[in-house]
Amino acid sequence: MGLAAAEAQFHVLAVDDSVIDRKLIEMLLKKTSYHVTTVDSGRKALEFLGWNEGNSDEAIFSPKNNQEVEVNLIITDYCMPGMTGYDLLKKIKESAVLRDIPVVIMSSENVPSRINRCLEEGAEEFFLKPVRLADVDKLKPHIMKTMGKETLNHENQDNDKEIVETEIQSQQQQTPQSNINNNKRKSMDEGLSPDRTRPRYNNGLTVMSN
């Protein structure tokens, strides 16, 4: 149950110039228990992520800004007027602060060279439109990758002890530095405190005694 609460916290930013496709992707993501924000252009996506043209990365991404807008995955259409999905992908991967956010590209056209270009530039996946629930189900591993390996161990009861140990370790590691990775891990830790892992042991024992 702790994991379900953590899932609801994952925030996906969806970028598409089509109003119909925005509605569709929003519903698909909500069904998969993600918190969703949709925007209709690459430029608006970057604005949402806190990026401002002409400023250095250090100037904009103060820890305060970063905590207000936490995005765990960006899913974007390829063909958009102005800034394409590929242009957006490039900008994200070029940014020291944004590059760790997994990016997924969607396109209505199956063009192998396009797909390869996007994957080479760092996109995690390439979905052909129309996107389906089965596609959205593939997003979790990419989000989890950036969240840290501790969370994957929750699926296995035997590893619960390990998690408590890991979290104690990571709490010790957290120094007063304004390190963005630590901020991310911190928000995950808040959702998966050792207290929440203990009930699973109890539940397991109850089931076994029945």
b (16+ CB within 10 A) / e for 192-202: beeebbeebee
Tokens of 44: 């608006």
Among 5, 65, 111, 132, binds another protein (CB under 8 A): 132
130 is an interface residue for another protein by CB under 8 A: yes
Q: Helix %, strand %, coil % for the chain, to 5?
A: 60, 10, 30
- Write out the binding residues for another protein, residues 44-83 only, by CB under 8 A: 79, 81
Residue written as tokens 């052909």? 128
Q: Which is nearer to another protein, 29 or 71 (CB)?
A: 29
Cα diameter, the chain = 64
Bridge partners for 125 per DSSP: 104
23 is an interface residue for another protein by CB under 8 A: yes
- Residue range at the interface with another protein (CB under 8 A); choices 1-9, 27-35, 60-68, 161-169: 27-35
Among 6, 10, 21, 36, binds another protein (CB under 8 A): 21
- Residue range at the interface with another protein (CB under 8 A); choices 20-28, 39-47, 86-94, 97-105: 20-28
CB 161 to another protein: min, Å: 38
Q: Which is nearer to another protein, 133 or 168 (CB)?
A: 133
Total chain residues near another protein (CB under 8 A): 17
108 is an interface residue for another protein by CB under 8 A: yes
Q: Where are any strands of DSSP class E within the chain?
A: 11-15, 35-39, 73-77, 103-107, 125-128
20 is an interface residue for another protein by CB under 8 A: yes
- Residue range at the interface with another protein (CB under 8 A); choices 21-29, 68-76, 139-147, 181-189: 21-29
Among 3, 8, 31, 119, binds another protein (CB under 8 A): 31
What are the Cα distances from residue 85, in Å, to 59, 103, 210? 25, 10, 54
Rounded CA-CA distance 72/191 in Å is: 15
Q: Where are any strands of DSSP class E within 4-124?
A: 11-15, 35-39, 73-77, 103-107
Which residues bind to another protein, rule: CB under 8 A? 18-21, 23-24, 27-28, 30-31, 79, 81, 108, 129-130, 132-133
